[in-house]
Structure 1
């Protein structure tokens, strides 16, 4: 199938308007999701152990707080399975409306929760329930944004355009870090009394903005073609666990370093260098407000790195850019965690900023187009959701709780989280050798990229060829 079956003319006024709407709708949703996740992660690292797990030893309170963070990741695959199936059967737009309501609503309600001192064990129970709801909604939110943009983007610049909404990830993380840095500078009794609730309540504003934009959004061109020719998969779950299983497996491997590394630098590193209750993991703990500036600067760097690496993937291929990022993280891991253990504030900020801004986001840039390109049109939403969310459990969900446990049981030995992060980077690097080059792939194809042997030339038209013929 020729690439002309994909939207390609940004000078067409109607297409350009739809592309702008899709970019804005995806960006706001990404900002809200990562504002929520970054906010919860920062809180897990610095305050939830005191407010919701005050009955535990301070170090184990951090482990418990990260465990509550991790259960949200456990709900993500279920949300991805549920909403991904709906997205492949009913369309991308309405799923994105529902997920933003569920995800943002749960985050807002965290801002009104009573603490352990007020209602005892019910405080961490309710916190965990809301985290589960947050994860269930987030399970298809980012996958939907990824698929939406890839299906709207012009083929030759798909890497660049698909990466633009992911600047929203950096904006959300940046907003959470800035707000948290400001609030954490307040007196302790004010910060732990009411001020910590403010950023959670602010999620309500982002919900309203996202809803307004998404209600005006049109369905993607590729899904419209499936509807027009009655080619929508009636059993996308069966397809994804038969035809799509290889793509999901490779996609999971690709995200281990990007997702796990992101949460280790954003959350675990802060818990490692900052004072935890009355104890600390390192000899010279850094003020928590200073440490969060590393996340802030990393997000600012990421706002440039993501579209840059997306653009580079359009020129040099997705695999080459992705592999560069995973190898960079592998080489960066051990010196980074050793430098964090020294407790120098400026060094801590620089290490976290480079880890997030360069190591993680060099992989995220090409990933925005690469994951949708891995899957065929009939089960693309579900495939991307499964790849993203299974990896979120195995990498991001375990990063905090396992890393905190390793630190707590080893007395703060920096080598253990370094080995853990290096392992994630090795898995992702190996995965880049298992995935075919997907740059410029026609998204109307039914076959997954990993299931196509050899060239994707004219001898591989099969179902997609008949689809294109009918379309013309």
Structure 2
């Protein structure tokens, strides 16, 4: 079966032109709300979970165990990608986006209700891991669903720009989560460890209510509706995916290892700075907020560039550039000089890293046809993200002693980025390929390209 649909009707009537904007706004706001939930866990894992859920361990072991619970959420991601990817390609993007929001919100709220180790012993960390697994299951379908929704609504010549709003939304979620933790982290330790850390998790109830209102207003994508009307929706999309597109999924998975930059920046570096170097918690949270604020604008800027010059050059610059800047950033943290690590942190995490982060929704999604797009993106990215999710734990294990122990961590990031770059070189350049031909194995036909 081949894709027989036409490009999204974004060049038609006014109603059609509004669809891409509406989908982009819904993806932006929905992703912000969803990833608020996901990011507050990482912050709590780095700052307080070692004392709340692993108090009987040594300081180093407790930190390692707390960071491991962060990584556990990534274990559920590949499993969730298979399940939610199937249903997203079988029954539509909108249903998946509503389900993932509900699951993420409920599991996050319940984390804030958990009794501590002092109350119920070993059951406390066990329940924490269970809820983290549910978070990871939800996140596995969220980004692929939002990316598919915006890609399939977007006009051909602006697909990177419109899909980038999904990633801009994740940065707003990071800003919100860090912003909530700034006053919480400033509390006295007794208040922080008893009730303060719970407040950001309880606020997810508000997150869910707002997100549902937005996502229920979405319409299904035109290309999926057309396939459904023609009875061309695959009953077993995963079978088609692994029979015809397994190489694309593998390249996406390996390329996604660049997300190690994000997990090291957001979890390991936070723990290293506050626990080893002695940087105040609030200072590191302000750095996270500043970098994410800059990223709100850099993401769409890089995406616009990718619509003009191609996906791969911009993406590869982000991969290799952020790998190099990780050395400078971790070194600057070791000095304890605030101005220095703010400069390198914002340059790496706010600007250069997002050259790939803003482009990958289009680059990955355009490797696949509509009938397997959501499942292929979900499975490929979540395998890569799952590996990246454990990198903070591996980093803590390989890091040297004291403030000079950052070099093995930077080398770990470099290795992951090298694999990502190699996989990306094997992908097709698709920025001038019409929607109807994405993922279709046909001889090259320059007449079918989108005009520059």
Structure 2 stretches lacking a partner, 5+ long: none
Distance 1:170 1:11 in 2: 32
The SS at the match of 1:350 is helix
Distance 2:313 2:447 in 1: 25
* Kept after mapping to 2: 8 A contact 1:286/1:344: no
Tell me by how many angstroms 1:149 deviates: 0.3
The SS at the match of 1:381 is helix
* Kept after mapping to 1: 8 A contact 2:20/2:162: no
Structure 1 partner of 2:351: 358
Distance 2:219 2:327 in 1: 47
1:105-254 alignment to 2 at 5 Å?
105-254=106-255
Q: Is 1:71 aligned to 2:72, yes or no?
A: yes
Which one of 309, 316, 324 corresponds to residue 302 of structure 2?
Answer: 309
Structure 2 partner of 1:278: none
Q: Is 1:431 aligned to 2:423, yes or no?
A: yes
Tell me by how many angstroms 1:176 deviates: 0.8
Tell me by how many angstroms 1:118 deviates: 1.3
Which one of 312, 329, 340 corresponds to residue 336 of structure 1?
Answer: 329
Structure 2 partner of 1:465: none
Q: Is 1:393 aligned to 2:386, yes or no?
A: yes
Structure 1 partner of 2:342: 349
Q: Is 1:82 aligned to 2:83, yes or no?
A: yes
Which one of 288, 292, 301 corresponds to residue 295 of structure 1?
Answer: 288
**1:7-50 deviations in Å (ceiling 9; x for gaps):** 25367321233333322321222112321222111111111111
Structure 2 partner of 1:272: 272
Tell me by how many angstroms 1:224 deviates: 0.7
Structure 2 partner of 1:382: 375
> Cα–Cα, structure 1 residues 424 and 219, in superposed 2: closer, same or farther, change >3 Å?
same
Structure 1 partner of 2:95: 94
Which one of 401, 405, 408 corresponds to residue 397 of structure 2?
Answer: 405
**1:320-350 deviations in Å (ceiling 9; x for gaps):** 1101111212322222222221122232333
* Kept after mapping to 2: 8 A contact 1:294/1:350: no
> Cα–Cα, structure 1 residues 10 and 266, in superposed 2: closer, same or farther, change >3 Å?
farther
Tell me by how many angstroms 1:409 deviates: 7.2
Tell me by how many angstroms 1:294 deviates: 1.4
* Kept after mapping to 1: 8 A contact 2:171/2:296: yes
Distance 1:201 1:79 in 2: 24
TM-score with structure 2 setting the length: 0.94
Structure 2 partner of 1:29: 30
Tell me by how many angstroms 1:95 deviates: 1.1
Tell me by how many angstroms 1:352 deviates: 2.5
Distance 2:398 2:3 in 1: 52
Structure 2 partner of 1:420: 412
* Kept after mapping to 1: 8 A contact 2:273/2:334: yes
Distance 2:33 2:323 in 1: 30
Tell me by how many angstroms 1:408 deviates: 6.9
Distance 1:76 1:176 in 2: 21
Which one of 301, 311, 315 corresponds to residue 322 of structure 1?
Answer: 315
> Cα–Cα, structure 1 residues 59 and 456, in superposed 2: closer, same or farther, change >3 Å?
farther
Distance 1:459 1:321 in 2: 23
Distance 2:417 2:309 in 1: 21
The SS at the match of 2:86 is helix
* Kept after mapping to 2: 8 A contact 1:22/1:149: yes
Structure 1 partner of 2:444: 455
Distance 1:3 1:350 in 2: 49
